[in-house]
Amino acid sequence: MAPQIVILGGGFAGLTAAHKLLKLTTPKAKEAKIVLVSESAHLYWNLASVRAVIPDQIPDDDLFRPLSDGFTQYPASRFKLIVGKATSVNFTQGTVTVQTDSRTEPVPYDQLVLATGSSLPNSLPFKHVGSTDDTTTALHDMQNKIHQAKSIVIAGGGATGVETMGELAQFYRGQKKLTLVISGHRALADLIPSVGKAAEAELAKMGVEMVHNATVTGRQEETSGSTSLTLSNGNTLQADLYIPLFGMAANTSFLPSSILTERGDVKLDLTLRVQGMQNVWAVGDVGNLETKQATKVDPQVKHLVNNLQAVLEGNGNGVTEYAPSTKPLIAVTIGRSKGTGQMGGWKLFGWLVSYMKGRTLLTEKGAALVSGSS
Ligand SMILES: Cc1cc2nc3c(=O)[nH]c(=O)nc-3n(C[C@H](O)[C@H](O)[C@H](O)COP(=O)(O)OP(=O)(O)OC[C@H]3O[C@@H](n4cnc5c(N)ncnc54)[C@H](O)[C@@H]3O)c2cc1C
């Protein structure tokens, strides 16, 4: 019987892996059937969520693209999309339990690819928060809250916090009080100091207040509707809206802790297999080999597909080790026209970040990703 490869997660990693596997042409790989299981029926271009949380900035259709549209090009015998949530895996029997709208079904696999990505701990719509409907509802709710708030505090000086604050500052400059709480002495602390300095200088010019060396340790909703935030430095802040943008974690609650690191990432060996397993693999944010960035997805997926092809062909020697990259490559937008970033040891020019990414936040690339032509 043709081998069945089950991919869990229809994000950047799972979607790309499905297309690349379906395009394999070697005789045995050509027969394999791909089953893509995704809680969300759409690809969410979450890179643009930092702008999309402001009402009327990006149409939903540019953010959410149906996964099914991309797979009509393949014979039905080779591909199946199941819109549902993987709730457990039985590694001994080789089955995944999937919960769809109407039923719970066991999905058998010969090879399993984990690509369930990551999310913020508080169901904020900067990543998928469940089904497509769940995510669009959460996004529209956030747009309303942002529209109504006169004061907004964001906690988190990483790329998501800085980019979101940059968008708010550009759009609402002078209309809302905007504060960014940064846990260390500088934003973008994982990058070279000049990058964080540049980001802070742009935000300051746009009127953003920054609080350094502090975390939010408590929050209390006031009867007035505003939130009182207690900071680790003993101060308090009042905000109509508080947006905590830190603590991104892998979506692995359906997996046994024995295959996870302490922070919940899937433990992989360099072949991209789950440590100690022969037919379970992982790519993208869910794994522990590289930083959680879309730029890491493509090289990982290409490697995974080569290795899977070797396995399908019975060529054990063809399974090779992946070389994770430790070189930073990140472009951080600050509104449409400003930005910063780092490539290797070099700080990126703001105008370049704006030109390459800031104008559209790359939403135009979603269609090619869904159709497998990117
Ligand atoms: C605001 C923001 C901006 C970003 N900007 C950039 C950027 O500019 N450049 C960059 O390189 N990276 C960026 N990133 C990181 C990027 O979003 C991730 O690296 C990328 O989404 C990883 O893709 P993935 O497919 O591994 O996971 P995800 O995109 O998280 O996709 C996971 C998929 O799995 C599904 N899923 C989850 N759990 C289950 C389950 N139990 N069963 C079935 N399906 C499930 C989800 O519905 C989703 O379809 C940004 C992240 C954020 C939050």
pLDDT tens string, the chain, 374 residues long: the values are 899 999 999 999 999 999 999 998 888 888 999 999 999 999 999 999 999 999 999 999 999 999 999 999 999 999 999 999 999 999 999 999 999 999 999 999 999 999 999 999 999 999 999 999 999 999 999 999 999 999 999 999 999 999 999 999 999 999 999 999 999 999 999 999 999 999 999 999 999 999 999 999 999 998 888 999 999 999 999 999 999 999 999 999 999 999 999 999 999 999 999 999 999 999 999 999 999 999 999 999 999 999 999 999 999 999 999 999 999 999 999 999 999 999 999 999 999 999 999 999 999 999 999 999 98
Alpha helices in the chain (DSSP H): 12-22, 27-31, 49-52, 60-63, 132-148, 159-172, 193-205, 297-312, 350-353, 366-371
Closest CA to 98 of 22, 189, 6: 6
Closest CA to 37 of 102, 106, 91: 106
CA of 308 to the centre of ligand 1 (A): 22
CA of 8 to the centre of ligand 1 (A): 13
CA of 366 to the centre of ligand 1 (A): 13
Q: Which atom of ligand 1 is nearest to the CA of 10?
A: 49
Q: Which atom of ligand 1 is nearest to the CA of 14?
A: 25
Q: Which atom of ligand 1 is nearest to the CA of 248?
A: 53
Asked if residue 283 lies in contact with residue 296, where contact means CB atoms within 8 angstroms, the answer is no
> Does the domain spanning 4-39+84-120+248-325 belong to CATH 3.40.50.9100?
no
Residue with tokens 């790309």: 16
CA of 227 to the centre of ligand 1 (A): 29
Q: CA dihedral in degrees (47, 53, 55, 56; nearest 10)?
A: 10
How far separated are the first and last CA of the chain, in Å rounded? Answer: 31
Closest CA to 283 of 75, 67, 88, 20: 20
Ligand 1 pocket (Cβ < 6 Å) reads 8-14, 37-40, 46-47, 49-50, 85-86, 115-118, 126-128, 160, 251, 254, 284-286, 292-295, 297
Asked if residue 197 lies in contact with residue 187, where contact means CB atoms within 8 angstroms, the answer is no
Both tokens of 292, joined, read: 């959680």
CA of 221 to the centre of ligand 1 (A): 31
CA of 285 to the centre of ligand 1 (A): 7
Structure letter (DSSP) for residue 223:
T
Q: Give the C-alpha separation, 365 to 64, whole Å.
A: 12
Q: Give the C-alpha separation, 371 to 287, whole Å.
A: 25
Phi, psi torsion values for 339, nearest 5 degrees? 175, 180
Q: Which of 82, 251, 281 to mutate to test the pocket of ligand 1 (most atoms within 8 A of CB)?
A: 251
Q: Which of 285, 297, 343 to mutate to test the pocket of ligand 1 (most atoms within 8 A of CB)?
A: 285
Asked if residue 286 lies in contact with residue 334, where contact means CB atoms within 8 angstroms, the answer is no
Residue with tokens 């006169």: 150
Asked if residue 215 lies in contact with residue 244, where contact means CB atoms within 8 angstroms, the answer is no
Domain ranges in the chain are 4-39+84-120+248-325, 132-247+328-366
Q: Which atom of ligand 1 is nearest to the CA of 120?
A: 53
CA distances from 37 to 11, 15, 264 (A): 10, 10, 21
Asked if residue 220 lies in contact with residue 242, where contact means CB atoms within 8 angstroms, the answer is no
Q: What DSSP assignment string belongs to 327-364?
A: S-EEEEEETTTEEEEEETTEEPPHHHHIIIIITTTTGG
**Ligand 1: residue whose CA is nearest its atom 48:** 11
CA of 26 to the centre of ligand 1 (A): 30
Q: Which atom of ligand 1 is nearest to the CA of 160?
A: 1
Q: Give the C-alpha separation, 234 to 212, whole Å.
A: 13
Both tokens of 64, joined, read: 């959410």
CA-based angle 249:255:259, to the nearest 5? 85
Both tokens of 145, joined, read: 């809250």
The answer to whether the 4-39+84-120+248-325 and 132-247+328-366 domains have the same CATH topology is yes
Q: Give the C-alpha separation, 106 to 88, whole Å.
A: 10
Asked if residue 283 lies in contact with residue 317, where contact means CB atoms within 8 angstroms, the answer is no
Q: Which of 6, 15, 37, 38 to mutate to test the pocket of ligand 1 (most atoms within 8 A of CB)?
A: 38
CA of 39 to the centre of ligand 1 (A): 12
Q: Which atom of ligand 1 is nearest to the CA of 164?
A: 1
Task: Give the H or E element holding residue 119.
Answer: strand 118-119
Phi, psi torsion values for 148, nearest 5 degrees? -80, -30
Q: Which atom of ligand 1 is nearest to the CA of 119?
A: 30
CA of 12 to the centre of ligand 1 (A): 6
Distance of CA 57 to the CA centre of its chain: 20
Classify domain 132-247+328-366 by CATH number: 3.50.50.60
CA of 349 to the centre of ligand 1 (A): 26
Q: Give the C-alpha separation, 226 to 293, whole Å.
A: 34
The pLDDT assigned to 25 comes to 83
